[in-house]
Amino acid sequence: MQFRYRAVDGDGRIRRGTMDAANAADLELRLKRLALALISARPARALPGLLAGRIGRRELVSFCFHLEQTSRAGVPLIEGLVDLRDSVEHPRFRMVIAQLVEEIEGGRLFSQALALHPAVFNPLFVSLVRAGEASGQLVTVLANLAESLKWQDELAAQAKKVLSYPVFVAVVVVAVIAFLLSYLVPQLVEFMRSINQDLSFNTRLLIALSELLVGYGAWLLLLPPVLWAGVLLWARRNPALALRLDALKLAAPFVGGTLKKLSLARFADQFGLLYSAGLPILDALAICESVVGNRAIAAALARVRVQIGQGGGIAASFEREQLFPPLVLRMLKVGEQTGGLDTGMRNVAYFFHRDVREAIARIQGLIEPTMTVVLGLLLLWVMSAVLGPIFDTIGRLR
C-alpha cells in the first residue's frame, strides 16, 4: 500500500512524500535506506499518474547513461543503482530506483525488477535488458537504449511541432473572427438595419453568424472539446473505432504522411535494437506492435508477423502490407540477404528521420502563407459585408 510520510534528512530538513510499503515498519526501513528518518506516516491513496509526477524520457536517458558508465567502469549494478538513487532529483523516480535496489537485493534479476514497474519501463525496455543479461551485453544494450531514447525524444518533439503550429494558427484565426462577430458586428447591426435597404446575402449571413455567436457562444465553445472527449471515450471501448481513427490520422492532409513516417521511424529504430540484442524476429515484431504508437501500423505489423511465421520473407512480407517505400524495401532486402538486418533497420530509421525533418520544414513553410491568406480572405469577407451597405447608402446620397 502507499503511505504519505514526513521524514527528516541528515541536514535536519523536513521531507514529505509518498512511498509504497507493506506496512509502517517496511516504510521506515525503506526511508532509512534513503538516509531519511521517519517522523510520521499515514496511508494515502495513490495519486493519479499526472499528479504523481510523470517520469519522462530524459530521466530514462540519464538512468541508462549512468548505469552504462558505472558498469563499463566495473562498478556492480546494485552499487550503480544505489549511487543513482542518492543523486536523482525526480522524487517519484527516486522511489522507483529505491524499489529496484530492494528487489534486486531480494534476489530478482534486473529485468525482473524493471518489469514490476510497467508505467516507467515499457515492454521494449524490459525485453532489451533481459536480452542483454542473457547475452552478457548489458552495457552495450544500455548504451543503445540511451541513444534510442534521445532519438525518440527528438522524434516526439518533431511530432508536436507538426501538430502544434497549425493548431495555434487556427486558434488565432478563429479567435480573430470570433472577436469581430461578437464585438464589432453587433455594434453595426442596428445601423445596417436602419438604412432601410435590402441587405446583401453576405451581410445577412454575417448578421446571422454574429447573433448565433452572441446567443450561443458558450455552447459553441464547449461543443468541440465535449465531442472530442466523447469520441476518445467511445474509441477506448470500441477497438474498431480506435483503429479507424488511427488510420485516419495517417491519411490526414498535410500532416498524415509525416505522422506515418514518425511511427515507422520509431518502429525501425526499436526493431533494430531488439534484433541486434538477439531477440527472434517474431518476438521483436510482437513487442514493436505494443510500442509503435499507432493501431493501424500495429495491425499491419501483426499481419507481417503472421506472414513471416508462415515462412514468408521479411522484405516480401513488408512489401505486401505497403508499409515502406521501395527504397526502404530494397534496404530491408539487402539486410535480410547479408544477415545485417539490424543495420538495415537503422538505415531505415535514418531515412525516415531525415524525411520527417524535411517534411516539417516544408509544412511550416506552407502553413504560414496559407494561414495568412485564409485570415486575409476572412477579414475581407467580414469588411465587405459590413462596409458594403454603408458604401451603397453613401452612393445613393450623391
- Residue 8: phi, psi to the nearest 5? -125, 140
**One-letter amino acid of 353:** H
Contacts of residue 39, defined as CB under 8 A and 6 or more positions apart, other chains included, come to: 5, 6, 7, 8, 14
- Residue 136: phi, psi to the nearest 5? 75, 15
- Whole-number Cα distances in Å, 12 to 4, 8, 37, 39, 175: 19, 6, 10, 12, 53
- Whole-number Cα distances in Å, 55 to 16, 51, 159: 19, 11, 19
The helix-helix angle for 201-237 and 185-194 (nearest 10°) equals: 140
Tell me if 128 sits within 8 A of 145, measured CB to CB. Answer: yes
pLDDT score for 110:
92
Contacts of residue 132, defined as CB under 8 A and 6 or more positions apart, other chains included, come to: 138, 139, 140, 141, 142, 277
180 DSSP 8-state letter: I
Closest CA to 342 of 261, 259, 260, 279: 279
Rg (CA), the chain: 29
Contacts of residue 337, defined as CB under 8 A and 6 or more positions apart, other chains included, come to: none
H or E element at residue 166: helix 138-179
Is the Cα torsion angle 103, 107, 110, 114 positive or negative in sign? negative
**How confident is the prediction along the chain (398 residues), in pLDDT tens digits per residue?**
667 788 888 888 888 877 777 677 778 887 887 788 888 888 765 444 433 457 888 889 999 999 999 999 889 999 999 888 888 888 888 888 888 988 898 888 999 999 888 888 988 888 889 888 888 888 988 988 888 888 778 767 766 776 676 677 778 777 877 887 787 777 776 766 666 666 777 777 878 888 888 887 778 778 888 998 898 888 888 888 888 988 888 888 777 887 888 888 888 888 888 888 888 888 888 888 877 878 898 899 899 999 999 988 888 888 888 777 887 788 888 888 887 887 888 788 888 878 877 877 777 777 778 777 877 887 788 777 777 766 766 666 65
Tell me if 81 sits within 8 A of 94, measured CB to CB. Answer: no
Cβ contacts of 3-6, under 8 Å, gap ≥ 24: 3/27, 3/41, 3/42, 3/43, 3/44, 4/41, 4/42, 4/43, 4/44, 5/31, 5/38, 5/39, 5/40, 5/41, 6/38, 6/39, 6/40, 6/41
Q: How far apart are CA 302 and CA 394, in angstroms?
A: 71
Q: How far apart are CA 226 and CA 358, in angstroms?
A: 35
Q: Which three cell numbers stand for residue 388?
A: 458594403
| Angle (nearest 5°) at CA 345 between 342 and 347 | 115
Tell me if 383 sits within 8 A of 203, measured CB to CB. Answer: no
**One-letter amino acid of 236:** R
